[in-house]
Structure 1
Amino acid sequence: MTPTTRFLAALALAAGLSGTALAGGTGHHHHGGHAPAGGVPATHDADHDADMAKMIDAMKPSPGDAASTLAYKAADMAMMHDMHVPYTGDPDVDFRTHMIPHHQGAIAMAKVALQHAKDPQTRRLAEQIIADQDKEIAQMRDWLAKNRK
Protein backbone atom coordinates (compact mmCIF):
# COMPACT_ATOMS: atom_id res chain seq x y z
CA MET A 1 0.00 0.00 0.00
CA THR A 2 1.41 3.39 -0.94
CA PRO A 3 1.74 6.16 1.65
CA THR A 4 -1.06 8.05 -0.09
CA THR A 5 -3.35 5.01 -0.03
CA ARG A 6 -2.54 4.41 3.66
CA PHE A 7 -3.24 8.05 4.36
CA LEU A 8 -6.58 8.00 2.58
CA ALA A 9 -7.60 4.79 4.37
CA ALA A 10 -6.60 6.23 7.74
CA LEU A 11 -8.36 9.49 6.92
CA ALA A 12 -11.57 7.66 6.06
CA LEU A 13 -11.42 5.68 9.31
CA ALA A 14 -10.59 8.71 11.42
CA ALA A 15 -13.27 10.78 9.73
CA GLY A 16 -15.79 8.15 10.72
CA LEU A 17 -14.46 8.08 14.27
CA SER A 18 -14.22 11.85 14.59
CA GLY A 19 -17.63 12.38 13.07
CA THR A 20 -19.16 10.05 15.63
CA ALA A 21 -17.08 11.54 18.43
CA LEU A 22 -17.97 15.06 17.36
CA ALA A 23 -21.63 14.11 17.39
CA GLY A 24 -21.13 12.72 20.88
CA GLY A 25 -22.72 9.41 19.98
CA THR A 26 -20.04 6.79 20.61
CA GLY A 27 -20.89 5.93 24.15
CA HIS A 28 -17.36 6.95 25.11
CA HIS A 29 -18.61 10.28 26.47
CA HIS A 30 -20.17 10.24 29.91
CA HIS A 31 -22.90 12.82 30.29
CA GLY A 32 -24.51 14.12 33.41
CA GLY A 33 -21.44 13.74 35.61
CA HIS A 34 -21.41 9.95 35.66
CA ALA A 35 -18.01 8.73 36.74
CA PRO A 36 -16.16 6.26 34.49
CA ALA A 37 -14.03 3.46 35.97
CA GLY A 38 -11.31 5.91 37.01
CA GLY A 39 -13.76 7.80 39.22
CA VAL A 40 -13.33 11.17 37.48
CA PRO A 41 -16.51 12.52 35.88
CA ALA A 42 -16.21 13.07 32.14
CA THR A 43 -18.43 15.49 30.27
CA HIS A 44 -19.06 16.35 26.67
CA ASP A 45 -16.84 19.32 25.90
CA ALA A 46 -17.51 21.49 22.84
CA ASP A 47 -13.99 22.95 23.01
CA HIS A 48 -12.53 19.42 22.91
CA ASP A 49 -14.71 18.61 19.90
CA ALA A 50 -13.50 21.75 18.12
CA ASP A 51 -9.89 20.88 18.94
CA MET A 52 -10.39 17.35 17.59
CA ALA A 53 -11.93 18.72 14.40
CA LYS A 54 -8.96 21.07 13.92
CA MET A 55 -6.52 18.22 14.53
CA ILE A 56 -8.26 15.96 12.02
CA ASP A 57 -8.40 18.81 9.50
CA ALA A 58 -4.66 19.47 9.95
CA MET A 59 -3.93 15.84 9.02
CA LYS A 60 -5.75 16.05 5.70
CA PRO A 61 -3.57 16.38 2.62
CA SER A 62 -3.21 19.89 1.29
CA PRO A 63 -2.31 20.98 -2.22
CA GLY A 64 1.42 21.39 -2.41
CA ASP A 65 2.22 19.16 0.58
CA ALA A 66 5.67 17.66 0.25
CA ALA A 67 5.86 13.87 0.01
CA SER A 68 7.31 13.80 3.53
CA THR A 69 4.44 15.91 4.87
CA LEU A 70 1.90 13.57 3.30
CA ALA A 71 3.71 10.61 4.87
CA TYR A 72 3.88 12.29 8.30
CA LYS A 73 0.18 13.15 8.09
CA ALA A 74 -0.64 9.55 7.17
CA ALA A 75 1.40 8.29 10.13
CA ASP A 76 -0.36 10.73 12.46
CA MET A 77 -3.79 9.73 11.21
CA ALA A 78 -3.04 6.01 11.48
CA MET A 79 -1.74 6.48 15.02
CA MET A 80 -4.84 8.43 16.04
CA HIS A 81 -7.05 5.70 14.61
CA ASP A 82 -5.05 2.89 16.23
CA MET A 83 -5.10 4.62 19.63
CA HIS A 84 -8.88 4.37 19.64
CA VAL A 85 -8.77 1.32 21.92
CA PRO A 86 -11.45 0.65 24.54
CA TYR A 87 -10.44 1.21 28.13
CA THR A 88 -10.60 -1.79 30.45
CA GLY A 89 -10.44 -0.05 33.81
CA ASP A 90 -7.14 -1.81 34.50
CA PRO A 91 -4.51 0.97 34.50
CA ASP A 92 -1.67 -1.43 33.74
CA VAL A 93 -3.43 -2.91 30.70
CA ASP A 94 -4.78 0.45 29.51
CA PHE A 95 -1.33 2.01 29.69
CA ARG A 96 0.13 -0.65 27.43
CA THR A 97 -2.77 -0.97 24.99
CA HIS A 98 -2.68 2.77 24.38
CA MET A 99 1.10 3.14 24.37
CA ILE A 100 1.65 0.40 21.79
CA PRO A 101 -0.06 2.32 18.95
CA HIS A 102 1.60 5.51 20.20
CA HIS A 103 5.01 3.83 19.87
CA GLN A 104 4.01 2.39 16.50
CA GLY A 105 3.22 5.95 15.40
CA ALA A 106 6.69 7.05 16.50
CA ILE A 107 8.19 4.23 14.45
CA ALA A 108 6.12 5.23 11.41
CA MET A 109 7.31 8.83 11.75
CA ALA A 110 10.92 7.69 12.15
CA LYS A 111 10.58 5.63 8.97
CA VAL A 112 9.34 8.74 7.15
CA ALA A 113 12.40 10.57 8.45
CA LEU A 114 14.67 7.79 7.20
CA GLN A 115 13.02 7.97 3.81
CA HIS A 116 13.14 11.75 3.46
CA ALA A 117 15.51 13.39 5.96
CA LYS A 118 18.98 14.44 4.87
CA ASP A 119 20.53 15.50 8.19
CA PRO A 120 22.69 12.68 9.63
CA GLN A 121 21.61 13.50 13.20
CA THR A 122 17.95 13.24 12.23
CA ARG A 123 18.59 9.91 10.55
CA ARG A 124 20.52 8.55 13.57
CA LEU A 125 17.77 9.69 15.92
CA ALA A 126 15.15 8.02 13.71
CA GLU A 127 17.14 4.77 13.73
CA GLN A 128 17.44 4.93 17.53
CA ILE A 129 13.73 5.64 17.94
CA ILE A 130 12.86 2.62 15.80
CA ALA A 131 15.15 0.35 17.85
CA ASP A 132 13.95 1.69 21.21
CA GLN A 133 10.26 1.70 20.35
CA ASP A 134 10.38 -1.80 18.81
CA LYS A 135 11.99 -3.09 22.02
CA GLU A 136 9.42 -1.35 24.23
CA ILE A 137 6.50 -2.59 22.10
CA ALA A 138 7.82 -6.15 22.46
CA GLN A 139 8.09 -5.70 26.25
CA MET A 140 4.53 -4.35 26.48
CA ARG A 141 3.11 -7.13 24.31
CA ASP A 142 4.96 -9.72 26.37
CA TRP A 143 3.57 -8.25 29.59
CA LEU A 144 0.05 -8.21 28.13
CA ALA A 145 0.37 -11.82 27.03
CA LYS A 146 1.35 -12.86 30.57
CA ASN A 147 -0.89 -10.58 32.61
CA ARG A 148 -4.01 -9.62 30.70
CA LYS A 149 -7.12 -11.13 32.21
Structure 2
Amino acid sequence: EEMKHDMSKMAMGAQSPATAGYEAAMKKMHKDMAIKYTGNADVDFVRGMIPHHQGAIDMAKVVIANGKDPEIRKLAEGVVKAQEAEIKQMQDWLAKHPAK
Protein backbone atom coordinates (compact mmCIF):
# COMPACT_ATOMS: atom_id res chain seq x y z
CA GLU A 1 0.00 0.00 0.00
CA GLU A 2 2.84 2.39 0.78
CA MET A 3 4.29 1.75 -2.68
CA LYS A 4 0.93 2.50 -4.30
CA HIS A 5 0.83 5.85 -2.50
CA ASP A 6 4.33 6.71 -3.73
CA MET A 7 3.40 5.78 -7.30
CA SER A 8 0.38 8.08 -7.24
CA LYS A 9 2.60 10.97 -6.19
CA MET A 10 4.92 10.30 -9.12
CA ALA A 11 2.03 10.13 -11.57
CA MET A 12 0.84 13.62 -10.64
CA GLY A 13 3.79 15.17 -12.46
CA ALA A 14 2.68 13.72 -15.79
CA GLN A 15 -1.00 14.56 -15.56
CA SER A 16 -3.19 13.51 -18.49
CA PRO A 17 -5.51 16.06 -20.12
CA ALA A 18 -8.47 14.10 -18.75
CA THR A 19 -7.15 14.20 -15.18
CA ALA A 20 -6.46 17.92 -15.46
CA GLY A 21 -9.98 18.43 -16.83
CA TYR A 22 -11.62 16.42 -14.06
CA GLU A 23 -9.62 18.21 -11.36
CA ALA A 24 -10.50 21.63 -12.78
CA ALA A 25 -14.19 20.70 -13.02
CA MET A 26 -14.25 19.38 -9.45
CA LYS A 27 -12.44 22.44 -8.07
CA LYS A 28 -14.84 24.82 -9.82
CA MET A 29 -17.90 22.80 -8.79
CA HIS A 30 -16.92 22.71 -5.12
CA LYS A 31 -16.13 26.44 -5.11
CA ASP A 32 -19.45 27.28 -6.79
CA MET A 33 -21.40 24.99 -4.44
CA ALA A 34 -20.14 26.94 -1.40
CA ILE A 35 -23.29 29.05 -1.28
CA LYS A 36 -24.59 31.24 1.51
CA TYR A 37 -27.67 29.41 2.80
CA THR A 38 -30.95 31.29 3.04
CA GLY A 39 -32.82 28.91 5.35
CA ASN A 40 -35.29 28.17 2.54
CA ALA A 41 -34.80 24.45 1.80
CA ASP A 42 -36.15 24.72 -1.75
CA VAL A 43 -34.08 27.75 -2.74
CA ASP A 44 -30.92 26.38 -1.12
CA PHE A 45 -31.37 23.01 -2.84
CA VAL A 46 -31.71 24.62 -6.27
CA ARG A 47 -28.85 27.06 -5.70
CA GLY A 48 -26.57 24.19 -4.69
CA MET A 49 -27.70 21.82 -7.42
CA ILE A 50 -27.11 24.20 -10.32
CA PRO A 51 -23.31 24.20 -9.86
CA HIS A 52 -23.42 20.48 -9.02
CA HIS A 53 -25.13 19.79 -12.34
CA GLN A 54 -22.69 22.11 -14.14
CA GLY A 55 -19.86 20.08 -12.63
CA ALA A 56 -21.40 16.91 -14.05
CA ILE A 57 -21.63 18.58 -17.47
CA ASP A 58 -18.02 19.72 -17.29
CA MET A 59 -16.84 16.22 -16.33
CA ALA A 60 -18.97 14.62 -19.04
CA LYS A 61 -17.37 16.92 -21.60
CA VAL A 62 -13.93 15.76 -20.42
CA VAL A 63 -14.79 12.13 -21.13
CA ILE A 64 -16.43 13.05 -24.45
CA ALA A 65 -13.17 14.76 -25.46
CA ASN A 66 -10.78 12.15 -24.03
CA GLY A 67 -12.64 8.88 -23.51
CA LYS A 68 -12.40 5.88 -25.78
CA ASP A 69 -15.40 3.71 -24.80
CA PRO A 70 -18.43 4.42 -27.05
CA GLU A 71 -20.87 3.36 -24.31
CA ILE A 72 -19.39 5.84 -21.83
CA ARG A 73 -19.23 8.61 -24.43
CA LYS A 74 -22.93 8.04 -25.20
CA LEU A 75 -23.72 8.06 -21.47
CA ALA A 76 -21.79 11.32 -21.07
CA GLU A 77 -23.69 12.90 -23.97
CA GLY A 78 -26.94 11.95 -22.22
CA VAL A 79 -25.65 13.47 -18.97
CA VAL A 80 -24.92 16.76 -20.75
CA LYS A 81 -28.36 16.89 -22.37
CA ALA A 82 -30.27 15.95 -19.19
CA GLN A 83 -28.27 18.14 -16.81
CA GLU A 84 -28.48 21.19 -19.11
CA ALA A 85 -32.27 20.79 -19.23
CA GLU A 86 -32.45 20.44 -15.45
CA ILE A 87 -30.24 23.52 -14.94
CA LYS A 88 -32.62 25.52 -17.14
CA GLN A 89 -35.60 24.22 -15.17
CA MET A 90 -33.93 25.16 -11.87
CA GLN A 91 -32.89 28.61 -13.13
CA ASP A 92 -36.45 29.26 -14.32
CA TRP A 93 -37.84 28.14 -10.95
CA LEU A 94 -35.31 30.25 -9.05
CA ALA A 95 -36.24 33.34 -11.09
CA LYS A 96 -39.85 32.88 -9.92
CA HIS A 97 -38.90 32.12 -6.30
CA PRO A 98 -36.18 34.54 -5.18
CA ALA A 99 -34.79 34.02 -1.70
CA LYS A 100 -36.45 36.24 0.86
* TM-score normalised by the chain length of structure 1: 0.58
2:78 corresponds in structure 1 to 128
Q: 1:109 aligns with which of 59, 66, 69?
A: 59
CA distance in 2, matches of 1:101, 1:133: 10
CA distance in 1, matches of 2:73, 2:12: 26
CA distance in 2, matches of 1:89, 1:73: 31
CA distance in 2, matches of 1:62, 1:76: 16
CA distance in 2, matches of 1:99, 1:109: 15
- The Cα of 1:67 is off from its aligned counterpart by 1.1
Using CA pairs under 8 Å that are at least 6 residues apart, name the structure with larger relative contact order, 1 or 2.
2
Aligned AA (1:84): A
- Whether 2:48 is the aligned partner of 1:98: answer yes
- The Cα of 1:62 is off from its aligned counterpart by 2.4
- The Cα of 1:140 is off from its aligned counterpart by 0.4
Give the alignment's Cα RMSD to 1 decimal: 1.2
2:69 corresponds in structure 1 to 119
Identity percentage of aligned residues: 51
| Structure 2: tracts of 5 or more residues without a match | 1-10
List structure 1 segments (4+ residues) > 6 angstroms apart after TM superposition. none
CA distance in 2, matches of 1:138, 1:67: 29
2:3 corresponds in structure 1 to none
User: Which has a greater percent of helix?
Assistant: 2
CA distance in 1, matches of 2:93, 2:20: 34
- The Cα of 1:65 is off from its aligned counterpart by 1.5
CA distance in 1, matches of 2:44, 2:93: 12
Q: Pairwise mapping of residues 45-84 of structure 1 onto structure 2 (< 5 A)?
A: 62-84=12-34
CA distance in 2, matches of 1:117, 1:103: 20
CA distance in 2, matches of 1:65, 1:147: 43
| Residue aligned with 1:86, SS | coil
